[in-house]
A and B are shown apart, each in its own frame.
Chain A
Amino acid sequence: MVDRIAILGGGTGGAVLANDLADRLAAEIDAGDVEVTLVNDGPDHVYKPVWLYVPFGQREPADGRRPLRELVDSRIDLVVDRVTGIDTGARELALRDAAGSLAYDYLAVATGSTLAPAEIPGLEAGGHDYYSESGAVALREELLSMTEGHLVLSVVGTPHMCPAAPLEFVFMADDWFRERGLREDVEITYTYPINRVHGNANIAEWARPLMDERDVGVETFFNAEAVDPDAGTIASMEGTELDYDLLVGVPPHRGVDVVAEADLGDRGWVDVDKHTLEAERAEGVYAIGDAATTGVPKAGSVAHYQAGVVARRIASEVRGRPATATYDGKTLCFIETGMDAASFVEFDYENPPSPAPPSEKLHWSKLAYNEAYWLTARGLL
């Protein structure tokens, strides 16, 4: 009997998992005992961290795109199609274009995050973002033409992809305007939903003095309720209203509808055991990366490490051995603190982050990793 493994989503988690399984189960796949299918709704793999640099004119969206077929081992069946239904009882996936369904014995959900700006009235019309290709390109036009006024970065929804990116954006914007001699004419304000500037208390404690030093205004307990694009204002549930000339919003995030419809969790995220990454509401299902509600950041490093854990668990199960690999919450993040300096954090479920002093070396390490990332996607790094 053939063991069929389906991976839903070809982002960081899905690609790393596919390549890890191709390597780990090479003999079984070659013998026809195991089939691994990766389903993605487009032909390209997208590396989202590139988008942070697009508004500042440093990268192009194309720098973050490569064909999945070039990245994924030839032992993997790549299906470019959209999954329209997950039947966890029958263990089948319905596909939009293909005839028939795709049966699986093991399913890994790696469907990532989607943006839901429509949840906040006026945000789509009045706000810009760098959490999508189109958003980053549109924001670039606005930022390049901005010579004065009030730039407001509002973290509207959490959890969101790359929790450090809003801090990075304001630090980079501060430096970028400063280098161009415009900083005195551009006011920068950062808003965050809770009573500190980041969800993690250690990172918040580290970042706040830097923001004060750099004259980045801060509004905490600011949960955006509505944006008025005509008036150029953003109002919070707490009763604060800010005028803006350029609004950069981190929109509310959701998982994907097909996961929500399969009742694997709320808002399209999959409820999982945070150590085994097994879905809590279905048998034979794992979730990794943004799609999994583990409480750790929705970040590429998390998807990468979780993919390794799930690959080992599935390989053990295929071989009839107990699955012992577990995820310990490991997360790595570089945090840009300007255009030529960065910090670095590493933490897990037990050990909180302790941000490293910002340095040029860490900045170049981040840029170097962004290039070396393609080795990660290939399962080599």
Chain B
Amino acid sequence: MTDIDIEPTDTVDARGAACPGPLMDLIGRVRSASPGDVILLLSDNEGSLTDVSEWVDETDNELLAVDETGDDYGFYVEVS
């Protein structure tokens, strides 16, 4: 069980998508989000672990947490 206690504003379910699909789905959702929104990206692709964190580093957005406890990865991204 995860101990991450973050309530996302929105969830992007990109499970099943090949890279860079999950990251592009996240970016697409960030485009239409408001500052302060927290987007939860669900991905089952290991590549997302590097794709997502590297992209967030390039922006003013923040990767609050990564949930790696289940079968999928959960990325909590706060929009700047």
Contacts and interface: CB of A to CB of B under 8 A. Distances in A.
Interface of A: 119, 158-159, 193-195, 199, 201, 221, 223, 225, 237-239, 295
B58 A221 contact: yes
B49 interface: no
A320 B44 CA distance: 37
Contacts of B19: 199, 201
Interface stretch (B2-10, B20-28, B34-42, B66-74): B20-28
Given A237-B27, A237-B31, A295 B21 contact: yes
Given A119-B31, A237-B31, 16 more contacts: A159-B21, A159-B24, A194-B23, A194-B24, A194-B51, A195-B54, A195-B55, A201-B19, A221-B58, A223-B31, A225-B31, A237-B27, A237-B30, A237-B59, A238-B58, A295-B16
Contacts of A199: 19-20
Given A199-B19, A295-B18, A295-B21, A193 B54 contact: no
Nearest to B51: A194
A377 to B, nearest CB: 28
B17 interface: yes
B12 to A, nearest CB: 10
B27 A223 contact: yes
Contacts of B16: 295
Nearest to B32: A119
B47 to A, nearest CB: 8
Nearest to B57: A221
Contacts of A193: 20, 24, 27
Contacts of A238: 58-59
Chain B CB within 10 A, most for which of A195, A201, A295 = A195
A191 B27 CA distance: 15
16 contacts: A119-B31, A158-B20, A158-B24, A193-B20, A194-B23, A194-B51, A194-B55, A201-B19, A221-B58, A225-B31, A237-B27, A237-B31, A238-B58, A239-B59, A295-B16, A295-B21
